[in-house]
A and B are shown apart, each in its own frame.
Chain A
Amino acid sequence: MSLQPYERVKIARGAKRPTGCDYIEGIFTDFFELHGDRRFADDAAIVGGVARIDGNPVTVIAIEKGHTAKERMQRAFGAPNPEGYRKALRLMKQAEKFGRPVICFIDTSGAFCGIGAEERGQGQAIAENLCEMMTLKVPILSILIGEGGSGGALALGVADRVWMMQNAVYSVISPEGCASILWKDSAKADEAAASLKLTAEDAYRFGIVEHILNEAEIGQPIFYKKLKDKIIKELDMLASDENLIENRYNRFRRIGRYSCNPEGKDETT
């Protein structure tokens, strides 16, 4: 890949890039949006609802950044509040009740950073999703379509399969944030982006995503058609997995690199 990691970050953030709602429209039929977390509010940064794929019912949840300046403001640039994550969890539980799979599209620079978000338990909302998604009885497929910003992205990413667009990024911290902590200089974001290993190839190498999706035809009808076919095939496979929850646990259980002796040898993956 000739593109530098920080160029990938810029592509992933691009305003013209397809957003969550574009994917929903391109792939599913009969989408009906469901609003609200039933506790506090409806979060416009997360769009969710019921739909069909290949005739079969599914629950679809997408972080939506918006395209126009006005829409991006209204959707808080795709930075969900706790009520967004709670709405997502409500819809996942509903999917479990009715036995339909869940498909999540992830595209956020991170969970919303604000006073109200903290007052309403941003950390608790994300933590609850991590726990509940781990044992949800129906298949979950999560696709990183743009930015995968830290815990705010992972809150929709505890899935049986995680796919990533070729130019999507997935990171524990933004390159700018990392640079300002490390070098007290957010202008060194390009160096930080390289150090953080946030590209799709890196995530694949670490066993964090199963599949990298080619972007050559991104946004075109053929792109959605191909992705739709892939999703149908994958959901078929997951539907026959008798150890779905066990396999999901082990999928995440394996991730990590550390040493089992004090000399720092015997690296385990």
Chain B
Amino acid sequence: MAFLNFIHQPKNELEQGGRASAPVQQDLGEPEKTCPNCRKQIPLSRLWAAKNTCTCGYHFRMRARQRIGLIADSKSFNEMYEDIVSVDPLDFPGYREKLETVQHAANEMEAVICGNCTIGGTECAVFAMDPYFMMGSMGCAVGEKITLLFEYATDKHLPVVGFTVSGGARMQEGLLSLMQMAKTSGAVKRHSDAGLFYLTVLTDPTTGGVTASFAMEGDIIIAEPGATVGFAGARVIEQTTKKSLPKGFQKSEFILEHGFADAIVPREWQKDVIASLLSIHKGGGKA
């Protein structure tokens, strides 16, 4: 496979670190970060050059904008639906304050970024969820943005590429959050029935209501190495069943082994793999 030898160079300013004002990691400003896997100290500049991965293979979590910067062709990304933000429909204790705090700290308005771009020259709709915005949880705004994106892609006959990371449905929006699973799934189904291609990349962690909806509905499902992917939380399962969990439980390798992902693709190769798969599916869709 040719792309295995391909060394991906940063091509645009987004790839170099996203928005100038966006915190790259929570601990931006510290000179080094410790790899939780091999304990090595990695200077932040080198960490970024390696797409937030360690030489041992450990993949650190990434901001949504960085994700898009890594895969979108230079200057091709146009953001969409950025005005859609959460409200507090249930008057849930502390939610309004929490939203404000998170919006400020994460320098994002919502847990998902949507838009269009080209990847390896192929036009597509793209979304990336943000682990630093309430752990990518899905409330009404996230559900609406994802749904609008799939409706747009269906209308324009475009494939969709999506990076998932989520703790699940957003508890603070109650039943309305739960219904977003059905709403987004409906939009994915219409896109699929139109003969269009949808590729998901499962990143750490993808759980709960997002796993049980659009994360698992891709025509091709790729997982990032070492990502936790599951429906129920591991700790909850352990407490409920009072059994110790097998080694590697709910990790990407486990998901692949049990037949729920097509491949594990390291970040290094993701752009080339995605570009190649988009190219293979070109001309899809019933015009």
B174 lies within 8 A of A196 (CB): yes
A residues less than 8 Å from B90 (CB atoms)? 195-197
Question: In whole angstroms, what is the CA distance A206 to B176 when docked?
Answer: 8
- How many A-B pairs have beta carbons closer than 8 Å: the answer is 196
B182 lies within 8 A of A158 (CB): yes
Which of A9-17, A26-34, A247-255 lines the interface with chain B? A247-255
Which residues of B, 238-258, contact A by the 8 Å Cβ criterion?
A: 240-241, 243, 245-246, 249-250, 254, 258
B residues less than 8 Å from A171 (CB atoms)? 174-175, 178
Closest CB of chain B to A96's CB: distance in Å? 14
B211 lies within 8 A of A123 (CB): yes
Residue B32 at the A interface, CB < 8 A? no
Which residues of B, 204-227, contact A by the 8 Å Cβ criterion?
A: 208-209, 211-217
A172 lies within 8 A of B177 (CB): yes
Question: In whole angstroms, what is the CA distance A77 to B237 when docked?
Answer: 16
Question: In whole angstroms, what is the CA distance A248 to B244 when docked?
Answer: 42
Which residues of A, 218-269, contact B by the 8 Å Cβ criterion?
A: 249, 252-253, 255-262, 264, 267
Interface extent on B, as a size class? 35 or more
A114 lies within 8 A of B83 (CB): no
Residue A134 at the B interface, CB < 8 A? yes
**Interface residue tally for chain A (C-beta within 8 Å):** 56
B residues less than 8 Å from A170 (CB atoms)? 175, 178
Residue B185 at the A interface, CB < 8 A? yes
Contact of A123 among B144, B212, B249 (CB under 8 A): B212
B169 lies within 8 A of A113 (CB): no
Given A123-B231, A135-B193: A197 touches B174 (CB 8 Å cut-off): yes
Q: Which residues of A contact B (CB under 8 A)?
A: 111, 113-115, 117-124, 126-128, 130-132, 134-135, 150-151, 154-155, 157-158, 170-173, 177-178, 181-182, 191, 195-198, 202-203, 206, 208, 249, 252-253, 255-262, 264, 267
Q: Which residues of B contact A (CB under 8 A)?
A: 83-87, 89-90, 92-94, 109, 139-141, 143-144, 147, 169-171, 173-183, 185-190, 192-193, 208-209, 211-217, 230-232, 236-237, 240-241, 243, 245-246, 249-250, 254, 258-260
Can you identify 26 A-B contacts, CB atoms within 8 angstroms?
A111-B232, A114-B241, A118-B230, A120-B258, A123-B215, A126-B231, A127-B216, A131-B188, A134-B185, A134-B186, A134-B189, A135-B189, A151-B209, A181-B171, A182-B93, A182-B171, A197-B90, A197-B174, A202-B174, A208-B179, A253-B147, A253-B187, A259-B141, A261-B85, A262-B83, A267-B87
